[in-house]
Amino acid sequence: MASPDARECSIARTLELIGEKWSLLAIRELMLGSTRFDQIVRFTGAPRDVLTARLRKLEEAEFIERNKYQDRPERYEYHLTDRGKSLLPIITVLRDWGDRNLARPEGPPMPFEHTCGEALHPTLACSACGAPIRWGEVTALPHPGSRAAAE
């Protein structure tokens, strides 16, 4: 049970849906073009039963959709929905952070490049003024209905 003072936020809600290793790696594989269960198992290393459960949860949350491609035995392909595709910036920033902070001496395990031909290093900027977002420049405003707003 959560503390009554626990902050309610969209980060917690998002983590409820995609904040598990195998879910994020399945989304990564779908973004990289793997659409079949066996491919996703192979490239994530996920146990089959765990991956099945994660794919069901992602489908229920409308991040992915299943399309049958074979009747006997029944087999499905998985595709990202618009909601799933909207995770691209999050996955890209998470990957870039790992490349910059956790790479081995030989470099990142899977470098990415943009269609312009350069290495892909995303930046996060304010949509209103275009300034890069930096530590100490972001403030959370209290929700109008919260105790903090009433105080």
Does some domain include residue 12? yes
Q: What is the pLDDT of residue 147?
A: 58
Helix, strand, coil shares, percent, the chain, to 5: 40, 15, 45
Q: What is the CATH number of the domain that holds 24?
A: 1.10.10.10
Instruction: Say whether both 81 and 94 belong to one domain.
Output: no
Does some domain include residue 1? no
To 5 degrees, how large is the angle CA 66–CA 14–CA 149? 150
Instruction: Say whether both 15 and 81 belong to one domain.
Output: yes
Does some domain include residue 107? yes
Whether the ω angle into residue 111 lies within 30 degrees of 0, i.e. cis, is: no
Per-residue pLDDT tens for 7-51?
788 888 999 999 999 999 999 999 999 999 999 999 999 999 999
Does some domain include residue 3? no
- Say which DSSP state 97 is in: H
Instruction: Say whether both 132 and 72 belong to one domain.
Output: no
Quote the CA–CA distance of 92 and 109 in Å, as a whole number. 14
Instruction: Say whether both 16 and 65 belong to one domain.
Output: yes
Per-residue pLDDT tens for 67-124?
999 999 999 999 999 999 999 999 999 999 999 999 999 999 888 999 999 999 999 9
Instruction: Say whether both 67 and 99 belong to one domain.
Output: no
Domain that holds residue 67: 8-86
Instruction: Say whether both 96 and 46 belong to one domain.
Output: no
Percent of the chain residues topping a pLDDT of 90: 79
CA distances 63 to 49, 58, 98, 127, 132, Å, are: 19, 5, 23, 24, 28
* pLDDT for residue 149 is more than 60: no
Mind giving me the DSSP string for 24-55?
A: HHHHHHHHTT--BHHHHHHHH---HHHHHHHH
Domain count, the chain: 2
Instruction: Say whether both 112 and 146 belong to one domain.
Output: yes
- Say which DSSP state 117 is in: S
